Amino acid sequence: MIGTYGHGTENDFVLIFDPENRVEITAAQVRAICDRKTGIGSDGFIRIGKDGEKWFMDYRNADGSIAEMCGNGVRVYARYLTELGHATLDEGQTLAIATRAGVKDVQRNLAGFAVDMGRWKLEPKELLVHADG
């Protein structure tokens, strides 16, 4: 298992490379790793795994909870893969990364990496603003 630290648009992440999906990590372990006082310290934890032939982003919040994905994290994930030669991403191409929120397409641009997050939608039970009076 290889681990590293990444930063994207003021979010920081601990990443581990696990393409064979051998690493089992608990919520308590993620909390300990992400703790800024006693651990490495980060906003989230990313396990770089595989889902069949696609790369899979196993994202955890700093509190150890499982999340669908993270926009800044998926860009850091793509940079890791391309910098270390695990994937290629030429200008105009996309790199498909599987997440719990579906497959996200990442593109390289002059500023770095951009991800298509899909269309925004408001779930019926969610409130944008609640104000009394």
CA dihedral 75, 80, 82, 83 (to 10 degrees): 130
Residue 35 CA to residue 72 CA, distance in Å, equals 19
Q: In terms of C-beta density within 10 A (0-12 exposed, 13-18 middle, 19 or more buried), how is residue 115 classed? A: buried
Q: What is the pTM of this model?
A: 0.83
Q: Which residue has the higher pLDDT, 109 or 37?
A: 37
pLDDT of residue 17: 94
11-63 pLDDT per residue, tens: 899 999 999 999 999 999 999 999 999 999 999 999 999 988 899 999 999 99
pLDDT at 19: 93
- Asked if pLDDT for residue 115 goes beyond 80, the answer is no
The torsion angle over the Cα atoms of residues 99, 10, 13 and 78, rounded to 10 degrees, is 50
